[in-house]
Structure 1
Amino acid sequence: MARDSGYGIFVTTKTELEVIEWDQGWDYMQKGFTKLKRILEGLSESQFTSEENMMLYTTIYNMCTQKPPYDYSWQLYDKYREVLDEYITSAVLPSLRNKHDEFLLLEFVKRWETHKVMVRWLSFFFNYLDRFFVCRRSLPRLREVGLTRFRDLIYRVVKASVRVAVIAIINKEREGEQIDLALLKNVINIFVEMGMGQMDAYEEDFEAHMLEDAAEYYSRKASSWILEDSSPDYIFKAEECLRRERDRVSQYLHSSSEQKLMEKVQFELLVVYSAPLLEKDLSGCRALLRDDQVEDLSRMYRLYNKIPRGLEPIARLFREHVIAEGITLVQQTENSANDQSSNGSGMREQVLVKEIAELHDKYMAYVSDCFMNHSLLRRASKEAFEVICNKTVAGSSFAELLVALCDNILKTGGHEKSSDEAIEETLEKVVKLLPYISDKNLFAEFYRKKLARRLLFNQSANEDLEKSTLAKLKQQCGGQFTSKMEGMVTDLTLARENRTGFEEYLHSNPIENPGMDLTVTVLTTGFWPSYKSFDLNLPAELVKCVEVFKGFYETKTKNRKLTWIFSLGTCNIVGKFEPKVIELVVSTYQAALLLLFNTADRWSYSEIFTQLNLNHDDLVRVLHSLSCAKYKILVKEPNTNTVLPNDTFEFNSKFTHRMRRIKIPLPPVDETKEVIEDVDKDKRYAIDAAVVRIMKSRKVLRHHELVVECVKQLENMFKPDIRAIKKRIEDLITRDYLERDKENLNMIRYLA
C-alpha cells in the first residue's frame, strides 16, 4: 500500500484491492473541491501538484469501477452538478447581486471565465465518469452540464441587467465617448455561448433588444437632422452612422447582426424620411442634379442602392429632372422660332439638337459615374430622352431636326468648320439620340433624301465622313436600317466608273460626240428615294445628249431600262446679255425653258406649258426662279411676284451681275408631307409582312397575341399604332391571307 502524504487516503493497486466507501471517497474529493474554490476566488492557496491531480482523478476512477453496490457513478454524476450549484450560490451570485453598469459587466465576464476554468478542472477530475458512464447512458456531458448550470443559475438571473448595461455603453460610444471594446466583446460572446451551439440566446436575449434600441436612437437623430440639415449633410451623416455601425459589428457584435442592424439604421435614417430628404427644395435630388453635385449624388446612390426599391424615387426624380431640362431647351427653341428677329431659319433648331446631345452625354455620365450604370437609372434616362426626342419643335419632328443637323455638318461649306475629329465627335453624339426616336423609319427616309442630294450634287465635305456616319447608324439600328443608304454610296462609285467608260466611248467614237460636256449618273432604283419622272420635251441640244448616252449604255447592258430623272439634273449654259456674257448654273428644267428663248424673245405661260410638257406646279417654280426671284433673267408681265397662267415672259437682255458665273436656285420644296406619306406606306407594308411572317410560323394565334407579337417585331424601327395593326389584320383577312376561326372569332388562322 501507498500513503499520500497530503490526504491520508489509500490507493488500491491492481494486485491488492480495497473497497472505497462513499463517505470516505467523497470526503477526500470535497477537500480537493474546497482547494479549487479557494484558488478560483483568489484566496491564499497553493496550486495543485501533479500528484494531487492524479490522486483526485484516481479516486473518481476507483469509485466508478468498483463492483456493485460500491459503484458510485450515479452519485458522482449528481454530485458534480451539486458542486457547481453550491459554488454558484455561495460565491458567484452574491458577487453579482449589487453591481451595476460597467462594474456588473466586468464581474459577469470574470465569473464566466472562472466558471469555465472550474468546469475544465472538474472535467479532468471526473474524466473517467464522462468518458464511460455518461457515454454508455447517453447522459449530457459534464461540460454541457457545467454550462447549463451557469446559464440556469446566473445568466437567466442577470441577463436583463447585463443587456441594459451593454446597450447603454453602445449608446455612449455612438455619442463619441471612449469605451472598453474588449469588455463589450467578451460580454456579447457570453450571450452567444449561452446558446450552446445555437444563436437563439444571443438573438432573443440581446440582439432583438439591441436592434430595437438602435432603431429608437436613430429615429430620434433623424427627426432632428431632417429639420436642421441640408440633404447632402444629412446623407453624409447617415453614411457615417452606417459605417460606424458596421465597425461595431466587426469590433464586438456577432457578425450575424450586421445585415439586421444595417437594415434597421437604413430604415430609420433613409426610408422613413426618403420623400422629404430627396425632394428638399434647395438641396434635394433635383438641386444636386441641377448644381452638378457629383460626389453627393454618388453618396446618395450608394446608400439607397442597398435598400430594397430604394432607388425608385431617385430614378423618378432623375427622370423628371432630365425631362424638365430637355423641355426647357425645346421651349426656348419654340420661342426663338416664333420670334421674327430669330437669326437663320432652322439654325436654332439645329443648335437644339446639339444641346440635347450634350445633355444626353452629361446625364449618361451621371448614370455611369454616379449611379454605377444601374439598370433602373439607365431606364429612367432612356424614358426621359424618349419623351424629349419625340417632341415636335417649331412644326418639325425631332427626326427631321436630327437629319438637318447631320446634313449641315456633312455638307461642303456647311457651318461646321472644325477638324474631322471634332465633326466625328459631334456626329457620334447626335447619332446616339437616334435610338430614342419612336419612328426611326421617318429618320431613315429624311436622311436618305438628304444623303441623295449630297451625293448627287457633290455636296459632301468628306466621303469618309459619310461612310463613318453610316457605320454609326448601322451600329445603333442594324444593317437593315442602312442597307439602302450604303447602296447609294456604292452606286456613286459605280457611277464614276460609268463616266470614265462614257468618256472613253466618246473618245473612240468622235462622231457620237454631242458637242457639249455631258455627265450622267446611273442609279439603282431600289436604293434611292422615289423621284417623279416626267416626259419633259427636251430642247434639240439636250435630246442629242440623251441619245448618245443611250447608245453607250446599250453597249454595256441590254437588260436594263434607263429612266431619266430630269428634275435632278443641272446645266451650265451661257447667257449673252448686252452688258456682258454670264455663265448660268441652272437645273435641267430651267435650262430647257431658257433655251426656248433662242427661238423667240417672248413666250406666254400657256405656250411654255405646251412646249415643255411640265406640270403646273413645277413650271410655276421654274418661272418664278427666273423672273421673280433674285436673278431676273426673264421679265414678266404683269410685274408681280406671283406666276399666273395669263402671264407673259420676255428675255431680259439688260440683265447683268458683278459675277461672271451665277447659280440660279429653284424655290425650295417642302418634302415633309411627301416623306411622311411614303413612310406611312412603308409602315403598312412592314406591318403586313410582320403579320404574315408571324402567322406563317405559328399557323393559329389569338388576335391579341398576334398584335403583341407584331408590336415586338416592329418596335426597333417604329412604334406601331395598335389600331393600324388591327386594320392591317382585317385587310389581310379580306385578301385571304388569314381567316377567323368559325368557332372562336378571336382565333386567327393562316391560309397557306
Structure 2
Amino acid sequence: MLPPGSRRSKIRPPRKSLVSSSLENSSEPLADFEKSWPILANAITQIQQKNVSNLSYEQLYRKAYVLVLRKFGAKLYDNVAALITQHLLQRREYLLSIKDGIEEFMKSILLEWNEHLQAMKFISDVLMYLNRVYVKENKKLLIYDLGIQLFKDHIIKHGNDEVGKKIIDIIITEITRNRNGEVITSNMYISKLINMLQLLIETSNSDLHYGESYYQSVFEPEFLASSETFFYKLSQDFVNYTNGTKFLHEASQFIKDEENRVNFYLPSSTYPKLIDLMNNIIIKDKIDQIISLPFEYQGLSFWLLPVIDNIFQEENEQHKINELKLLYELIGRIDDEYALLRMRLKEIIVQQGKRIPGFVRNSLEAASASTKKSSSPASFATKWIDTVLEYHSQIMSILNTSFDLNPMVEATINYAIRDFINDSGTGVSKKSSSNHVDASEMLSIYMDYHIKQFSKAVSSKDSSNSNSPDDSDELIAKSIAFLRSIKDKDSFEANYANHFAKRFLNAKGNSQAVTSNNKLGVDLEELVLSKLVEEMGSSSLSKVLRMNKDIKLSRDMTNDWKRYIIKNQKTDLVELDLKICNVTDWPKSMTKDYKSFSNPTGNEQSLIWSRQLRPTIKEFEEFWFAGKKNHNKSLFWSPKFGSMDFRITYPSRTYEFNMPTYAGLIMLLFAPQSSDPEVLAFDEKRELTYVEIQELTGIPESDLKRHLQSIAVAPRLRLLIKIPMSKEVNSSDVFKLNEKFKSPSVKVKVLTVSASSSAPKEKVQKTEQEEEAEEVKNNIQEGRKHEVNAAIVRIMKSRHLLKHNELFEELVKQLASRFQPLIPLIKQRIEDLIEKEYLKRDEENRNIYHYVA
C-alpha cells in the first residue's frame, strides 16, 4: 500500500526537440483537448480495469504533457477527478451488494482499496507532469492523494457514511466478540481496515491543509463510546460476583488481554485513551468497593488473614501473595501514589493489631490451663511483643513479594503498626480495657524478663541454658526495633529506669546480669544501655546512666572492702556484696523510707540487726568514713532490698538458702544460741511468738507478716512451723524450726509472697507494685510538665511573639520524638508560665503570646 503522495516512476519527460517536432509536424490543432482527453480517459479506465499491458506510457505521458503545456491543466485535473469518481461510485454499489458475510465484505473492501491505490500509482505516473507543474503551481492535491480523498468521499462517506458505518460496525462487532472470549478469524482484516481508515485524511484543495483522518474523526469516537458501554457492563458483571478474589483475577486477565488487543489492532494514539477509559471504569470506580468487601466475600481483610493465622494457629499458609500483587498492580494503573491501597491497608493492619492482645491472652490462658500455672505480666509482655514483631515481619514479607518494596507502602505499614501499638493504650492517657496494653511498659517488662533470663543462665553455669552472643544481639535488635514504634519514649524511659533499679537491688551480688558478650567483651546491661543511649540520646537516659554509675561504684567499693578484710585479717566478719545508691537518682518507691530504719518516728521501732551481723556493720561503717573519701556523705542501711545466703544443716541434709534480708533476719533468731559449735539449732528447740519476733527484729508489721508467710505458710518452703497452721499470720501465732524440711535441690531460693495476697481482707491498701506503678506514672506526668515548659520557653525565646495555634503546632513538632502532648497539658503549662511571668498575653488579642525577656 502506497502512502499519500507517492510518485515512483521510471518514465522520463520527452526531450524538448522531440516535443517541438511532434507539434510542428502535427496536422491536428495544437493541443486539441477534445481529441487527447478520450485517449487519456480510455487509458485511465483500462488502468482501473487492470488492462495495462497494451498501453504506451510514453505516448500517454506526452499527451498529458502537451495538455498541461497548452494551459489545459485545470480541465485535465477536473476530468481525471470526475472519471475516478464515476469509477468509485460504481465500485461502491458493488461493495454494498455483497451478501456473503462479514469476512467476505471485509476482504472485498480491502481488495478494492489495494487495487485503487495501485491504479492511482499508475495514473500518477502518466500524469507526472501535471503533478509537477499545474498541481504545484495551483496548490492542488497530488493525483495519488486526490485518489485517496475521492475513495474516502465516494466510497466510505458517500450516502451518509453508508460504507464507513458498515466497516465501523463490523470492526466493533468483531472486537466485542473477541472481548467476550470468542475466537475470531478476522484479525488481519481488522488491522488492515484500521490502517486504511487512518490513511483517509481530510484535506482542503484551497490551502492543502491536512486535518484529521477518518479514523480519528469518525471511527475512534464511536469505538471509544462502544468500549465505554462494554466496560461498564463488564465491570458490573465483575462486581456482581461478590467475590473479591474472582474480581481481581477476572479484571486483571481482561485488562491484560485488552492491552494485547489494543497493541495489535489500534494505533498508538488510541492506546492511552482506551487504557485510561478502561482503568477508570473497571478499576477506579470499583476497586474500593472490592477492597472493602466483608471477610466472607474475600476483600482485603480476607487476603491479609494468613498474617494472623500463621502466628496464632501455627500454620504456614502462604499469604494471598498473588491476589495482593494483582491488587497492587491494578491500583498502580490509576494512582502512582497508591493512596487508596495505603489507606485501606492501614485500616486493616490497625484492626488486626488491636486484636493481637486478645489473641495473646487467649493463648496464654490455654497454656495455663494445660500446665496449671498462671501466666505472669512478663509472659504476656514477651508473647505480645514477639507476636507484634512477627506480625511486622509477615507484613514486610508481603511488601517484598506483592508490593514491590514500595517505599510509600512501607511507610504506611510502619505507621499503621505504630498506631495500633500505641493506640492499645498508654500508661498515662488511656483508659483500661480488655485490650489495654501500655506499649512502653510492656517493652520494659520484655527487656527486664530477658535480661534476667540471661543472668540466670550465667549464674547457673548450665551450658544447656546459656545464651550465645547472637541471642543477646537478637534481644537488643528486637527491643530497638520495637522502641522505634513507641510514641511515648518518656514513658519507656521511666519504666526502664524502674526495672533497671529493681534488677540491681533484687539481684544476688552487686551486679545485674553480668552476661559476657564474647564479641564485645561487655556485660549485657552495659551493652543494652549503650544501644539505648545511641537510639535515644544520653540526656533522655541521664537518670539510668547515673544509676549505672552507682552500680560501678558499688562494685569498686565491694572489691575495696574485700581487700580491706584480707589486709586486716578480719575473716570472722560476714561477707558483703555492697549496693550503694544515691537516693536522689533511684526510684522513690524503693528509697522513700531509707531513713526510717535508723531514725524511726512516732510509735515506730527501728530495725534491730541480728547479733551475727552487727560486728560486720560496725566495721564497714568505720571503713566507710575512714579518710576523706566519704566524709561528706551519709550512710543508711536499707534491708528492704538485698538478700542473705545461709547454709543450714538439717538432720537429713545440708541446704544452701538465698532469701530476702527480712526473711534472713527472722531465720537468724532461730540460730543456735549456744557458743558450742556442736550444738545444732534443732537441739535447742527454740520457739518464738509473733510478738517476740516483731520485738526482736523491728521489722514493720506488713513486711513481717509477708515474710513469715513466705517461710512458714508457703507449702514448699516451710522453713518454720507455724502454730496453729493457717494462711493468715496472727499476733498469737508461735513459730519454730521445721526439722523435717526437704527439697529436691540443695540450693533453695526463698521468694516473697505478694503484698496483695498477704494483706488482711478488711484492709484495702496499695501493694508495692501499685505504688511503683503510681510513682512511674507520676514521674512521667511531672517529667512532661517540665519538658513542655522548657519547649515553650525555647520556642518563645526564639520567636518572641506567637499566635496560640502556631505555638501548639510548634510544640507538637518539637515534642513528637518524646511523647504526644495532650491539649489540656499544653494549656495548663502555658498558664503556669504566664503566672511565672515567662509569657504574657497580648493586650488586644488574647490568642497572641509574648515572651517576657
Q: CA offset at residue 744 of structure 1?
A: 0.9
1:39 to 41, 47, 53: 47
Secondary structure class of the residue paired with 2:194: helix
- Does the CA-based 8 Å contact 1:514-1:544 persist in structure 2? no
Q: Which has more helix, going by share of residues?
A: 1
Q: CA offset at residue 723 of structure 1?
A: 1.3
Deviates more, 1:285-294 or 1:376-385: 376-385
- Residue of structure 1 in register with 2:573 after alignment: 515
Q: Structure 1 residue 188 and structure 2 residue 205: aligned?
A: no
Q: Structure 1 residue 664 and structure 2 residue 750: aligned?
A: yes
Q: CA offset at residue 250 of structure 1?
A: 1.3
**How does 1:388-427 map onto structure 2 within 5 Å?**
390-391=424-425, 397-412=438-453, 420=468, 421=470, 425=474
- Residue of structure 2 in register with 1:444 after alignment: 493
Query: 2:545 & 2:25 partners in 1: Cα distance?
Result: 111
Structure 2 unmatched runs, 5+: 1-11, 203-209, 307-318, 426-432, 458-463, 518-523, 599-606, 674-685, 755-767
Q: Structure 1 residue 532 and structure 2 residue 564: aligned?
A: no
Structure 1 unmatched runs, 5+: 64-69
- Residue of structure 2 in register with 1:295 after alignment: 322
- Residue of structure 2 in register with 1:98 after alignment: 97
Q: Structure 1 residue 311 and structure 2 residue 341: aligned?
A: yes
Query: 1:709 & 1:210 partners in 2: Cα distance?
Result: 56
- Does the CA-based 8 Å contact 2:712-2:721 persist in structure 1? yes
- Per-residue CA deviation, residues 366-401 of structure 1 (Å, 9 max, x unaligned), is 343223345358536743663365155587634433
Secondary structure class of the residue paired with 1:707: helix
- Count of matched residue positions in the alignment of Structure 1 and Structure 2: 734
Q: CA offset at residue 697 of structure 1?
A: 2.6
2:785 to 671, 681, 684: 684
- Does the CA-based 8 Å contact 2:721-2:737 persist in structure 1? no
- Does the CA-based 8 Å contact 1:312-1:376 persist in structure 2? yes
- Residue of structure 1 in register with 2:152 after alignment: 151
Q: Structure 1 residue 386 and structure 2 residue 435: aligned?
A: no
- Residue of structure 2 in register with 1:177 after alignment: 183
Q: Structure 1 residue 166 and structure 2 residue 171: aligned?
A: yes
- Residue of structure 1 in register with 2:4 after alignment: none
Query: 1:265 & 1:13 partners in 2: Cα distance?
Result: 70
Query: 2:530 & 2:51 partners in 1: Cα distance?
Result: 91
Query: 1:740 & 1:588 partners in 2: Cα distance?
Result: 58
- Does the CA-based 8 Å contact 1:334-1:393 persist in structure 2? no
Q: CA offset at residue 244 of structure 1?
A: 0.9
- Residue of structure 2 in register with 1:735 after alignment: 836
Q: Rate the CA distance shift 1:26–1:126 in 2: closer, same or farther, 3 A.
A: farther
- Residue of structure 2 in register with 1:55 after alignment: 62
- Residue of structure 2 in register with 1:250 after alignment: 263
Q: CA offset at residue 312 of structure 1?
A: 6.5
- Does the CA-based 8 Å contact 2:354-2:435 persist in structure 1? no
Counterpart residue identity of residue 111, structure 2: K
Q: CA offset at residue 283 of structure 1?
A: 4.5
Deviates more, 1:630-639 or 1:76-85: 630-639
- Does the CA-based 8 Å contact 1:488-1:528 persist in structure 2? yes
Secondary structure class of the residue paired with 1:255: coil
- Does the CA-based 8 Å contact 2:235-2:282 persist in structure 1? yes
What TM-score, normalized by structure 1, do the two folds share?
0.79
Q: CA offset at residue 239 of structure 1?
A: 1.6
**How does 1:508-657 map onto structure 2 within 5 Å?**
509-510=567-568, 515-521=573-579, 529=587, 531-532=590-591, 534-535=594-595, 536-537=597-598, 539=609, 540-547=614-621, 550-551=624-625, 554-555=628-629, 567-572=640-645, 584-588=657-661, 625=710, 647=731, 652=736, 657=741
Query: 1:22 & 1:697 partners in 2: Cα distance?
Result: 103
Q: CA offset at residue 183 of structure 1?
A: 1.9
- Does the CA-based 8 Å contact 1:215-1:265 persist in structure 2? yes
Q: CA offset at residue 248 of structure 1?
A: 0.7
- Residue of structure 2 in register with 1:236 after alignment: 249
- Per-residue CA deviation, residues 555-614 of structure 1 (Å, 9 max, x unaligned), is 5x8898878765443333566889988655344555567668889999999998899887
Deviates more, 1:674-683 or 1:415-424: 415-424
Q: Structure 1 residue 205 and structure 2 residue 227: aligned?
A: no
Deviates more, 1:242-251 or 1:51-60: 51-60
Query: 2:398 & 2:362 partners in 1: Cα distance?
Result: 24
Secondary structure class of the residue paired with 1:571: strand
2:513 to 460, 464, 488: 460
- Per-residue CA deviation, residues 414-444 of structure 1 (Å, 9 max, x unaligned), is 7995864567557755654444444333333
- Does the CA-based 8 Å contact 1:632-1:652 persist in structure 2? no
Query: 2:114 & 2:359 partners in 1: Cα distance?
Result: 73
Q: Structure 1 residue 716 and structure 2 residue 724: aligned?
A: no
Counterpart residue identity of residue 174, structure 2: I
Query: 1:137 & 1:371 partners in 2: Cα distance?
Result: 63
- Does the CA-based 8 Å contact 2:357-2:435 persist in structure 1? no
Q: Rate the CA distance shift 1:596–1:338 in 2: closer, same or farther, 3 A.
A: closer
Q: Structure 1 residue 284 and structure 2 residue 298: aligned?
A: yes
- Residue of structure 1 in register with 2:88 after alignment: 88
- Residue of structure 1 in register with 2:19 after alignment: 11
Secondary structure class of the residue paired with 2:844: coil
Secondary structure class of the residue paired with 1:412: helix
Q: CA offset at residue 691 of structure 1?
A: 2.0
Query: 2:512 & 2:796 partners in 1: Cα distance?
Result: 46
1:361 to 371, 393, 400: 393
Query: 1:217 & 1:741 partners in 2: Cα distance?
Result: 66
**How does 1:500-511 map onto structure 2 within 5 Å?**
500=559, 503-504=562-563, 509-510=567-568
The percentage of counterpart residues that share the same residue type is 21
- Does the CA-based 8 Å contact 1:231-1:283 persist in structure 2? yes
- Does the CA-based 8 Å contact 2:61-2:127 persist in structure 1? no
Deviates more, 1:375-384 or 1:682-691: 375-384
Q: Structure 1 residue 217 and structure 2 residue 230: aligned?
A: yes
Counterpart residue identity of residue 55, structure 1: R
Query: 1:418 & 1:370 partners in 2: Cα distance?
Result: 40
Q: Rate the CA distance shift 1:395–1:193 in 2: closer, same or farther, 3 A.
A: closer
Q: Rate the CA distance shift 1:741–1:114 in 2: closer, same or farther, 3 A.
A: farther
Secondary structure class of the residue paired with 2:645: strand
- Does the CA-based 8 Å contact 1:634-1:649 persist in structure 2? no
Q: CA offset at residue 746 of structure 1?
A: 0.5
Counterpart residue identity of residue 359, structure 2: L
- Per-residue CA deviation, residues 131-153 of structure 1 (Å, 9 max, x unaligned), is 56655666666665554433333
Q: Structure 1 residue 371 and structure 2 residue 403: aligned?
A: yes
Counterpart residue identity of residue 50, structure 2: G
Q: CA offset at residue 470 of structure 1?
A: 5.6
